[in-house]
Structure 1
Amino acid sequence: MEAIRRLLIAVLASLAFVAPHTTANGLPAEVRLAAIEGVPSAKAARQILEIAYQRLGVGVSVMEVPTKRALLLADNGGLDGDLYRVDAVASNYPNLVRVEFPLLQGKLLAVVRETENHDLPHSPKNQPLRVSVLRGAIIAEDKARELGMEPILADDYDQVRSLLELGRVDVAFVSDVEGISPLTNEHWHRLKPIRKPVTTFTFYHYLNQRHAVLADHLAKVLEQLEREGIKAEVLESFRRDQHSKS
């Protein structure tokens, strides 16, 4: 009888431990997401997702980590998902499930010192153009190599800018995500993007495959937030805040 009593206590204790970790509809009570360090648009993405998760009764915590570590943590289940990625990057991680509604739209801009230029500068002495890119910005790194450029990695956008201003690179790659970009900062006023974006991209939210059901729910909620104008309000608030700090 004592053995049975202990077994019952152990079972009840395990149920008490599991219960708070799921909602009434079977969704997790909280998810832990990875986010890339030092990216301006990540804060906007985080707020949009927090609103979406709140509608589902799911809490969110975010850990800022280097980009490749973020993907690994989401893929191997160390965390529940990755804040946002493009398909070309996430497709290399088989355990990630895409939330099938676009989170953010963006474009990659080439920034130069000469304001009259409308195209990429010519390579000096038939050497590859040197381009400063934010470390971990995989889209920018891949595009630079695709165009035959030499990517020079920078730890933050201030360093990206400094490398261009000091002439250590020929061009800088800067992301503009829904109008959220370091180019609005007054420190960039002497530098101008060329007219045509280097490329455009779509960010999606990704979850570990164990949350496939949650991904389906989130896609519907994100569509609702866009239809109701809530997503646009969040983005406009970030754009205003960005301009007020410029």
Structure 2
Amino acid sequence: MQKFIAAVWASLVLASPVCAQQVLKVAINESTRHYQPALTALYKEVGLVPEFVVLPTERALRSVENGDVDADLGRVVGGTAGYQNVFELGESLSEVSLIVVVKKDASVSRLTLAELKGRSVASTRGTKMAEATAAKWGIKLTLVNTPQQMYQMLVNDRVEVVLITSVMMPDANVAPLVKVLPPLVTTKAVHVLNQKWAEWAPKLDAALKVMKADGRWAKLIALP
């Protein structure tokens, strides 16, 4: 009898939600790090566990496409166009804006998209919001691999302006940099996953909607 009870208990433990939790590799970068606690909580709501992997922005989306990672934490809505094996959640993570950053001594109070055409501008490779906006407005954009490289170009006067998203913070260790407000463009950020996880989309969307409604989501994604 004891052996029978032990066997039944073992089967229940093995079948429990804790043991059944699936782990997803989720790409993050400097722009999306602050979403980690929120996404961890969201995944927990539906019985998933994120394993965060640091990848450059451009490489991250390609890695989701080919299945090397399961998800990319945050992307501008519509930024996955052209990728066949990637889908976006219907419920957005937050608003995201495209913002100009200049040196503090630049004496610039405001810049429009039209005014950027005559200036030297840089952004990080894979920042789709900057790339798409520059292409639409005919702005010549220099792309670099990391935010540090971008900010250093600004400090060394190799460019006049850099474009960042609102979830990126100017690097105070490089030089006094300031954001020029209001933002150039504002849209939504979404979580994106490889198609093999498509069946989880309704659960994730529903859980995210509940977390927004009860206020947990706003607290978890608040920037310091």
Distance 1:76 1:183, change over 3 A: closer
Which residue in 2 is equivalent to 1:53?
43
SS of 2:182's equivalent in the other structure is coil
**Aligned amino acid, residue 192 of structure 1:** V
Structure 1 residues 147 and 115, CA, compared in 2 at 3 Å: closer, same or farther?
same
Which ranges of structure 1 fall in alignment gaps of 5 or more residues? 1-19, 241-246
Contact 1:85 1:205 in 2 (8 A): yes
Taking a change above 3 Å as real, the CA distance of residues 230 and 167 of structure 1, as seen in their structure-2 partners, is same
CA distance in 2, matches of 1:165, 1:209: 41
Deviation at 1:23, TM superposition (A): 7.3
Whether the aligned pair in 1 keeps the contact of 2:122 and 2:141 (CA below 8 Å) is yes
Query: Identity percentage over the alignment?
Result: 24
Distance 1:122 1:221 in 2: 42
Q: Give distance in 1, aligned partners of 2:175 and 2:99.
A: 13
- Residue deviations 1:68-97, cap 9 Å, x none? 332222223333222221233212212222
Q: Is the 8 A contact 1:23 1:57 kept in 2?
A: no
SS at match of 1:221: helix
1:33 to 26, 36, 52: 26
Which of 218, 231, 236 aligns to 2:217? It is 231
Amino acid in the other structure paired with 2:161: V
2:205 counterpart of 1:205: no
**What are the superposed Cα offsets for residues 32-87 of structure 1, whole Å, 9 maximum, x if unpaired?**
2223x332xx1222221110111222111122223333222222333322222123
Match of 1:12 in 2: none
Q: State the match for 1:119 in structure 2.
A: 111
Structure with greater proportional strand content: 2
The alignment yields a C-alpha RMSD, in angstroms, of 2.9
Q: Check whether the contact 2:152–2:174 (CA below 8 A) recurs between aligned residues.
A: no
Is the 2:99–2:165 Cα contact (8 Å) retained in structure 1? yes
Of the candidates 70, 75, 86, which is equivalent to residue 85 of structure 1?
A: 75
In structure 2, the gaps of 5 or more residues are 1-13
Measure how far apart 1:112 and its partner are.
3.0
Shift of 1:187: 5.2
* Structure 1 partner of 2:200: 214
Secondary structure of 2:181's partner?
Answer: coil
Letter in 2 for 1:68: E
Contact kept, 8 Å, 1:81 with 1:207, in 2: the verdict is yes
Query: After the TM superposition, which residues 1-246 of structure 1 pair with which residues of structure 2 at under 5 Å, given as runs?
Result: 29-35=22-28, 37-39=29-31, 42-113=32-103, 114-120=106-112, 128-177=118-167, 181-183=168-170, 185=172, 189=176, 191-236=177-222, 239-240=223-224
> Which residue does 1:8 correspond to in 2?
none
**Residues 221, 194 of structure 1: CA spacing in aligned structure 2 closer, same or farther, 3 A cutoff?**
same
CA contact (8 A) 1:97 1:215 kept: no
Question: What TM-score results when the alignment is normalised by the length of structure 1?
Answer: 0.72
Contact 1:23 1:58 in 2 (8 A): no
Distance 1:57 1:212 in 2: 15
* Separation in structure 1 between the aligned mates of residue 208 and residue 57 of structure 2, nearest angstrom: 24
Deviation of residue 134 (structure 1)? 1.8
State the TM-score, normalizing by the size of structure 2: 0.78
Structure 2 residue matching 1:197: 3-state secondary structure: strand
Cα deviations by residue, 1:134-185 (Å, 9 ceiling, x for unpaired):
23222212322332222222333333222223221121112213xxx42484
Task: Assess if the C-alpha contact under 8 Å between 2:131 and 2:141 holds in 1.
Answer: yes
Cα separation, 2, equivalents of 1:141 and 1:23: 46
